[in-house]
Homo-oligomer: A and B are copies of this chain.
Amino acid sequence: MAESPDIDILARGELFRGVAVEVLREVQAVSFRRKFAAGETVYQQEDPVTTFYIIVVGRVRITQTTLDGQQVIIRYLGPGDVVGYAALTGAETHPGAATAVDDSHLLGMPAVTLREIMSRNARVAMNAVALMGERYRDLQIRLRELATEKVERRIAHTLLRLAQQAGRRTSRGVEIAFPLSRQDLAEMTGTTLHTVSRTLSGWEGRGLVNSGRRRVVIARPEALADAVEEV
């Protein structure tokens, strides 16, 4: 199974799951590793799509910025995740920006090569469709939350979701495993950092969370879920 670390990573990611080893070797042959320091940009919004990445280690944030500078965080990506889905769909430019939020290693390859491999290997293309479907579904849910829920509830759901996808169990509870400021949470939930701060302070007082500078620990996830459930 383990031919090389990179092939292993590819085989475990959602895009190359179940794909023949020869294809993986081909992919590996055209791919390269690249490091990004925390805060470094992988690509900017509207950049032409040249390269496609898979995260080996680290964490990447996808954002979208409006003309007047307001930012929205579309999602966070972690190990095994695809960065730059536009390379899959054949779009000309990146609809959002990608930034490393931790020191990260990405596996990159030319977008055209990937497309070419997809067109020759239906399984890869099918995986790509499934991948896009999952992301679409996630966005649908977030859209619904944003449209129907009040701020407190949105923040709670966002935290619980982050805990699920990037949570680290500690003695104090589940810690979100990457730096996450009040501003970041605000940009994920469509509110302001002030409101996020007030909300977290409230929960802190009730012993539900345990947060600090760019760090959030959910002390009792179930209790937090309950707290926002009861009308």
Contacts and interface: CB of A to CB of B under 8 A. Distances in A.
Contact of A132 (B64, B115, B118, B136): B136
Interface stretch (A87-95, A98-106, A206-214): A87-95
Contact of A122 (B64, B122, B130): B122
A95 B137 contact: yes
Contacts of A115: 126
A204 to B, nearest CB: 25
Main secondary structure of the interface of A (DSSP, over half): helix
A126 B72 contact: no
Contacts of A91: 133, 137
Contacts of A148: 66, 70, 72, 190
A140 B66 CA distance: 12
Interface of A: 64, 66, 70, 72, 74, 85-86, 88-91, 95-96, 115, 118-123, 125-126, 128-130, 132-137, 139-144, 146-148, 187, 189-190
